[in-house]
Amino acid sequence: MSKAKAVSTNRVKKSREDWIFDIILYTIGVLLIIITLYPMYFIVIASFSDPAAVSNGQIMFLPKGVNFKGYKQLASYAKLWTGYRNTIAYVIMGTLVTLVVNIPASYALSRKHLYGRKFFTAFYLIPMFFTGGLIPTYLAVQRFHLLDTFWVMVVPFSVVTYYIIVGRTFFNNSIPEDLWEAAQLDGCGYLGFFFKIVLPLSKAVIAVIALWAAVGQWNSYFNALIYIRSESLQPLQIVLRSILVGNQTMSAMSTGAAAVEAKQMADLIKYAIIVVSSAPIMCMYPLVQKYFNQGVMLGSLKG
Amino acid sequence: MSANHSKTKKKSSIGFVEGVRRSRPLYLLMLPSIIIFALFTYYPMYGIVIAFKNFTPADGIMGSSWAGLKYFKQYFNSYQFGLTIKNTIIISLYTIAVTFPLPVIMGLLVNQMKAQKFKKFFQVSTYLPHFISTVVMAGMLILFLSPSTGIIAKLVGLLGFKLPNLMGSAKAFPHIYVWSEAWQHVGWDSILYIATLSSVDPTLYEAATMDGANKWHKMIHIDVPALLPTATIMFIMRMGSVMSVGFEKVYLLQNTLNSTSSEIISTYVYKMGLVSSQYSLSAAIGLFNNIINLVLLLAVNFISSKMSDTSLI
């Protein structure tokens, strides 16, 4: 068999099999997109449809009886907006603290001339393997008088070993050791060098860690559940929890048609509240997607 | 850490005082994180002693009387001991069995998508649920799975079936937990594999095409082997955390009807400690869990460093 013939027969065979492959591939792809997007799409259309139609199952693909009752109810729901405001404050302050605390430490740890480097590396790594656990940590927070304060949400758990490892990897690979020696010749002090030269070169890793920290703060409820008691300090997620998860038994308060209507309205509010609380993160994500992808790659490298 | 040998000569010529003096600015950079870690991570490690004491807030950690292993025995002899361990392991292994292989498969699929616009749309859509908070996810599940008004009940109803009350079913709990986990995170977790595949040498595909390989062959014989090292590490690392199922979602989805399969170690620690104020018992259970985690992680780290160059430490 000549070579040319072999190639041409292969090509004919290839295109038919690959065609089948592609059909299966894109069918699976479309199905996965539907499975992923439909639940989110449904929440959005349900949030401004007629509540009775939603609970009777008349709404599946298109909204019906468009109205904004759910959103109007939310507008006057003070607790939700307190939560919203608190979460924004926690996100801004928490992200700042996370950066201030982790970025310089990861830089220091990446320098080979750091005296006692092994000791400090161990210091930061040990908590990945062993921690005090819930109660001892709670007692520590209590002892330092941070229970039920604004600061418990932003300071005690701001040091994250994983962020430090990611930062260290970045600095290892992108800030050469002799950069400091060059800066020194120009009469730059070490801290001046760090703030004026190293940080501007490290925007990528700063962005990645800031995003992780911000999304983490926005979505977390654990610390607030454990350490916050006052209603005025509760973050958004705790308010959401009381509405979305907590009120399963509340509808039993009235009876008959009124109860049914109350339950339907409660559900409508839930759909609206999911939209209102998730929209900021969802809308932000595509804009900053590239930093997240970068982060996944940074995180997978070893320092 | 790997470049240590090149530095040993220099290091030995610098004394302790001089070394510390030179590193002063670096220490200053680490100071905030060292203080925070010392107060809120290392100090609680000392607080673990309350697991061996009859701790009361009035007596404090030092002042409370010693209890020996009393609280460990209390946990081991309780009905909750077997239950919480069983549930933790079942949920954990089931989660790994589903959410470890799916991102690998999704990575392989995305890598084969040559229609760039479709590929991009697919990726952005499947990453989105990752950003839904745990609370909202739990709220969605409760809304959707409601047997009277939920959308899933309605969709199932179209096919002529009646949806039972899944949220109140102990049997259904692990499935709800695991598959909602998959829905949220499989797309996101596939990023690592997509990135790994994008660095495969393109000449391999060209050579394979010349040899008459079709897309399926190329996927099996080029892409799968290319993912294997990364996937192995990810798998080993996941196995190291078998005994630490996240508290947040389980606690949100838990109710009295499904608690026989939803009570896990971390939710039990929370309830004993902060709801019933049995500080010492809770600390003892936490410590027990912590030690198992530590042993598992070290074992896994040992295996992974034997199998490849990659290890956590």
Q: Is A114 on the interface with B (CB under 8 A)?
A: yes
Specify whether A37 is located in the same domain as A92.
no
Return the pLDDT at A84.
94
d(CA B134, CA A218): 11
| Contact criterion met (CB < 8 Å) for A194 and B294 | no
Specify whether A26 is located in the same domain as A79.
no
Specify whether A199 is located in the same domain as A290.
yes
ipTM score of complex: 0.87
pLDDT classification of B311: cutoffs 50, 70, 90:
low
The DSSP symbol for B53 reads E
Nearest CA in chain B to A15: B214
pLDDT classification of B1: cutoffs 50, 70, 90:
very low
Residue A172 lies in a domain: yes
Q: Is A19 on the interface with B (CB under 8 A)?
A: no
- Measure CB to CB from residue B50 to each of A112, A136, A277 and give the nearest one: A136
| Contact criterion met (CB < 8 Å) for B252 and A138 | no
Return the pLDDT at A158.
96
Specify whether A40 is located in the same domain as A121.
no
Specify whether A296 is located in the same domain as A172.
yes
Helix, strand, or coil (residue B254): coil
Q: How many CB pairs under 8 A join A and B?
A: 286
Specify whether A162 is located in the same domain as A258.
yes
Specify whether A123 is located in the same domain as A206.
yes
Return the pLDDT at A281.
86
Pick the closest to residue A43 from A299, A298, A273 (CA basis).
A273
Q: Is B72-307 CATH 1.10.3720.10?
A: yes
Specify whether A205 is located in the same domain as A82.
yes
Specify whether A116 is located in the same domain as A194.
yes
- Measure CB to CB from residue A144 to each of B39, B112, B133 and give the nearest one: B39
pLDDT in tens, B204-229: 999 998 888 888 999 999 999 999 88
Specify whether A8 is located in the same domain as A141.
no
Interior/surface letters A32-67, b for 16+ CB within 10 angstroms, e for the rest: bbeebeebbebbbbbbbbbbeebbebebeeebbeee
Return the pLDDT at A9.
46
d(CA B143, CA A266): 11
Return the pLDDT at B269.
94
Ranges for all domains in chain B classified under CATH 1.10.3720.10:
72-307
Specify whether A33 is located in the same domain as A116.
no
Residue A59 lies in a domain: no
Return the pLDDT at A3.
46
Q: Which range among B239-243, B271-275, B293-297 has the greatest average pLDDT? A: B271-275
d(CA A157, CA A127): 12
3-state secondary structure string across chain A: CCHHHHHHHHHHHHHHHHHHHHHHHHHHHHHHHHHHHHHHHHHHHHHCCCHHHHHCCCCCCCCCCCCCHHHHHHHCCHHHHHHHHHHHHHHHHHHHHHHHHHHHHHHHHHCCCCCCHHHHHHHHHHHHHCCCCHHHHHHHHHHCCCCCCCHHHCCCCCCCHHHHHHHHHHHHHHCCCHHHHHHHHCCCCHHHHHHHHHHHHCHHHHHHHHHHHHHHHHHCCHHHHHHCCCHHHCCHHHHHHHHHCHHHHHHHHCCHHHHHHHHHHHHHHHHHHHHHHHHHHHHHHHHHHHHHHHHHHHHHCCC
CATH number at residue A197: 1.10.3720.10
- Please state whether A57 falls in left (phi above 0), alpha (psi between -120 and 50) or beta: left
| Contact criterion met (CB < 8 Å) for A277 and B136 | yes
Return the pLDDT at A257.
74
Q: For residues A218 and A200, is the Cβ–Cβ distance under 8 A?
A: no
Q: For residues B155 and A38, is the Cβ–Cβ distance under 8 A?
A: no
How confident is chain A (303 residues) per 10-residue block, as mean pLDDT? Answer: 45 72 95 96 93 86 88 89 95 97 95 92 91 93 96 96 91 87 81 90 90 91 95 94 72 64 87 92 80 69 43
**Residue B38 CA, distance from chain mean position:** 25
Question: Looking at beta carbons, which residues of chain B come within 8 Å of A281?
Answer: 131
Residue A61 lies in a domain: no
Look up residue B166 and give its amino acid. Answer: L
Residue A269 lies in a domain: yes
Range of the domain at A42: 3-47
